A and B are shown apart, each in its own frame.
Chain A
């Protein structure tokens, strides 16, 4: 067979929706890479601009919101043919990206403003 299917069950529905888990995993990887890259770029930008404290986290939220919108646009606004729920594309790499963002933000701020 060309593809093998895994079934995903939702307990509250009558029918069992099946989807191709291999493609779902590949889509999740794409989302994760995109978010990590944008977090890093956003971190360096926040460091260069000299933001400290809460303003930097506002920058992070902004960058993540823009990334989410662009990911949704890339999926053609029909999320259900590429992912099984909205949370996956909107919230998935959020905390991991936050850590990368803070790391590169501190890094860039130190290099540009302190040394």
Chain B
């Protein structure tokens, strides 16, 4: 998550740098008295990079999508009781032969 956040910060910094470059380019155009038709090519490339990086950061930083279906793996309603009051051991299971190789599988 912090990698995507760093990428987002990098995208914003590049955006500010592109803005500053365009301001300087316009100052240059004022000196040579040309018209502003568009920012220079480096700024265009930088803006495309900013778009790609900010897409990546903007989609990864807010978090993952979580499933809304009730029958998906992460939405299981059943959980083992953590309340020890309901765990009893004095039941009919003591009639079974003890087998030390039995393992309890917890899901």
Contact = CB atoms under 8 A, between A and B. Distances in A.
Interface string B72-88: 10011111000000000
A74 B65 contact: yes
Nearest to B79: A2
B68 A41 contact: no
Q: Which secondary structure characterizes the binding site on chain A?
A: helix
Contacts of B70: 5, 18-20
B50 A45 contact: yes
A49 B39 contact: yes
Contacts of B38: 49-50
B62 A29 contact: yes
A27 B68 CA distance: 9
Given A1-B77, A20-B68, A20-B70, A48 B39 contact: yes
B58 A34 contact: yes
Contacts, number: 105
Contacts of A70: 55, 59
Contacts of B26: 112-113
Interface residues of B, number: 36
A66 B52 CA distance: 10
Interface residues of A, number: 39
Contacts of B19: 44, 48, 108, 111-112
A30 B62 contact: yes
Contacts of A5: 70, 77
A81 B74 CA distance: 12
A82 B68 CA distance: 5
B58 A37 contact: yes
Interface of A: 1-3, 5, 18-21, 23-24, 26-27, 29-30, 33-34, 37-38, 41, 44-45, 48-50, 63, 66-67, 70-71, 74-75, 81-84, 108, 111-113
Given A70-B59, A83-B68, 6 more contacts: A1-B77, A27-B65, A29-B62, A38-B58, A48-B18, A82-B65
